[in-house]
C-alpha cells in the first residue's frame, strides 16, 4: 500500500510496541532489520514505544481520544481476539486503549483522525479508506 499511494501523499509511521504478550522484544535495530528483510518495508520506523498506560506516547493518547475502540467486527479473528481479551480485562470494550499489535489509525491531511482499524480489520477496508482520502 505504501508503494501504491506514497506518491499521492500517504505516509505510514511504524511505531513498534512490546506491550502485547512481548511480541516485539528486540532492539530498535533488530526490529528494523526484521521488518525490512522479511516485509521489505520502506516507510519510517520509529523507536519502540508504549501505546498504552502512563508512558504512552502523546501521539497515541491523542489518537485514542479521537477514535476509541469500536469492537473487532465479525469473523473468526474477531471472536478469538474478544475471547482472549475477556480473560485479561472483562471491561476491555469500554476503554479506548489499544488492544493488540497492528492497530492502525488513519489521519487526513489536516490532522483529523478519521478512522481506527483493529488488527482484525480487512486490509481491503484499510486500502479503501486510504484511497478515499487521497
Per the prediction, the chain carries an average pLDDT of 96
Over residues 111-134, the pLDDT tens digits come to 999 999 999 999 999 999 999 999
For the chain, the domain total comes to 1
Instruction: Give the CA angle between residues 25, 20, 74 to the nearest 5°.
Output: 140
Q: Which domain holds residue 40?
A: 2-133
Q: Residue 40's pLDDT is what?
A: 94
- For the whole prediction, is pTM greater than 0.75? yes
Which of the four pLDDT bands, split at 50, 70 and 90, describes residue 67?
A: very high
The average pLDDT across 49-74 equals 97
* Residues 19 and 50 sit within 8 Å (Cβ to Cβ): yes
* Residues 115 and 127 sit within 8 Å (Cβ to Cβ): no
Q: Residue 42's pLDDT is what?
A: 94
Over residues 26-45, the pLDDT tens digits come to 999 999 999 999 999 999 99
Q: Residue 134's pLDDT is what?
A: 94
Please report, for the domain that includes residue 70, its CATH number: 3.40.30.10
Residue 120 grid coordinates: 482484525
* Residues 1 and 126 sit within 8 Å (Cβ to Cβ): yes
Which of the four pLDDT bands, split at 50, 70 and 90, describes residue 61?
A: very high
Amino acid at each position: 500500500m505504501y508503494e501504491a499511494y506514497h506518491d499521492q501523499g500517504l505516509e505510514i509511521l511504524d511505531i513498534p510496541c512490546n506491550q502485547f504478550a512481548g511480541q516485539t522484544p528486540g532492539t530498535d535495530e533488530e526490529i528494523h532489520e526484521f521488518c525490512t528483510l522479511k516485509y521489505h518495508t520502506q516507510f519510517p520506523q520509529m523507536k519502540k514505544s508504549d501505546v498504552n498506560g502512563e508512558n504512552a506516547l502523546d501521539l497515541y493518547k491523542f489518537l485514542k481520544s479521537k477514535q476509541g475502540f469500536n469492537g473487532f467486527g465479525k469473523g473468526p479473528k474477531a471472536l478469538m481476539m474478544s475471547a482472549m481479551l475477556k480473560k485479561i480485562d472483562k471491561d476491555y470494550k469500554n476503554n479506548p486503549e489499544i488492544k493488540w499489535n497492528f492497530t492502525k489509525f488513519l489521519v487526513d491531511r489536516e490532522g483529523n483522525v478519521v478512522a481506527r482499524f483493529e488488527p482484525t480489520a480487512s486490509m481491503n477496508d484499510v486500502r479503501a479508506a486510504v484511497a478515499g482520502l487521497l
